[in-house]
Amino acid sequence: MPASFLSLHVHSFFPAHAAVGGAVMGAAGIAHTALSGQPLGVSGTADGLVRGRGSELHRWLFLLGLFASGVTMAQLYPASISPMELAPWREAVGGFAVGLGSALAHGCTAGHGISGNARFSPRSAFFTLVALVAGCIVATATRSADAVRMQHAPFPKASDALTLAAQLLGAHCAGYVAVVALSRGGVLEGASALSALSPLDGSLFGCGLALAGGTSPARVAQFLDLSRRAWNPTLACAAAGALAVLVPFNHLAVLNGWVRRPVLRGLTLEVPTETAVDRKLVLGGAVFGAGYGLSGLSPGSALVLVGSPYGPPLVFLAAMFAGFITADSSTLNTWIKKVPAPAIKESTQ
């Protein structure tokens, strides 16, 4: 019998797998920050391709790493990459909303939900709350749990998932060691070092996301849609696993000054300090959450699914990049300035 929580029946829930996958995502965040000095984010990396930074090679290589993780996990962990059933209109509207919202708020489930919350950022906490509320409202109103489907393969034992996670970490660590050695030897520096690092970060993050079940839009829909008695809290366990790894690193190593400069040469430590809860953050969180609740896809999961043998969510991705571009619309930004400012506002540090 399924477990019960607040009159909801918990089903198809694998907390150990989700937490292990989340920990792998957290490890990717640690590697990216320690080596490059920057917090890891998916939408912020992807949207730069269509917002004036398309010449930066590291952005393309990070996405290549995400694509490669989809190919890898389809072979090593079939439960994470399965045939998907999602109405084209959900893909289109959801993708546009996810792209627009993440561009306005400067982050998504990775940049705010994991990296930002691991720093205890007020902006990221507020974004997460707004996105979850909006996601639940839209998913419940449109019955996303019934409409968003995925044919999941059977999950392996938790011990097998843990073994795979260790193997993935080992393989990526070997790559990180090679990049560090080349940087310390003067072969890679600055932009070239970041470009060598980025595909490893994208691949490790994508593998963790898949291992956690985050590449399944159906599981996301089952978490956000409260219209049915069946509920799947996989998403929460994945986030908890990532934060359990990343929070100690951020607060013991980065914010306390133990890490003063990145390991790779020619790069600088960049720790976001802005705490203002502004119009764009609130509106972006609401729009992002609506798209997430409608489609069950985030920028990270959609990009990992490019490597799916069952076909990528092309409609979602095209709409997402259209949303990125729309965020720079002068008409939209003029309208946003007229929206009443949120009552909660923190000063920048």
Burial of 257 from C-beta contacts in 10 A (0-12 / 13-18 / 19+): exposed
Query: Per residue in 62-117, pLDDT tens?
Result: 999 999 999 999 999 998 898 889 999 999 999 999 999 999 999 999 999 999 99
pLDDT given at position 26? 97
Higher pLDDT, 276 or 4: 276
Q: Which of 136-140, 194-198, 255-259 has the lowest mean pLDDT?
A: 255-259
**Distance, CA of 349 to CA of 106 (rounded, Å):** 18
Total Cβ atoms within 10 A of residue 258: 9
Higher pLDDT, 26 or 12: 26
Mean pLDDT computed over 301-321? 95
Query: Per residue in 249-266, pLDDT tens?
Result: 988 876 666 677 889 989
Q: How far is CA 48 from CA 54, 114, 215, 327, 343, in A?
A: 6, 20, 23, 12, 30
Query: Per residue in 147-161, pLDDT tens?
Result: 998 877 778 898 999
What is the share, in percent, of the chain residues with pLDDT greater than 90? 72
Mean pLDDT computed over 39-54? 94
pLDDT given at position 100? 98
Higher pLDDT, 339 or 193: 193
pLDDT given at position 5? 46
pLDDT given at position 155? 82
pLDDT given at position 232? 86
In this prediction, residue 228 has a pLDDT band, given cuts at 50, 70 and 90, of confident
Decide: helix, strand or coil at residue 85: strand
Answer whether residue 211 shows pLDDT above 80: yes
Average pLDDT, the chain: 90
**Distance, CA of 177 to CA of 272 (rounded, Å):** 27
Place of tokens 């008409």: 331
Query: Per residue in 86-101, pLDDT tens?
Result: 999 999 999 999 999 9
pLDDT given at position 23? 98
pLDDT given at position 95? 98
pTM of the model: 0.92
**Distance, CA of 38 to CA of 268 (rounded, Å):** 8
Query: Per residue in 330-344, pLDDT tens?
Result: 999 999 888 777 655
Mean pLDDT computed over 168-179? 97
**Distance, CA of 214 to CA of 110 (rounded, Å):** 11
Task: Write the DSSP symbol of residue 257.
Answer: T
pLDDT given at position 257? 67
Where helices occur in the chain by DSSP H, the ranges are 15-36, 43-47, 57-76, 88-105, 117-118, 122-141, 144-147, 158-184, 191-211, 217-224, 234-248, 279-295, 299-304, 314-326, 330-338
> Are the C-beta atoms of residues 39 and 180 closer than 8 Å to each other?
no
In this prediction, residue 4 has a pLDDT band, given cuts at 50, 70 and 90, of very low
Residue 170: half-sphere exposure toward Cβ, Cα within 13 Å: 6
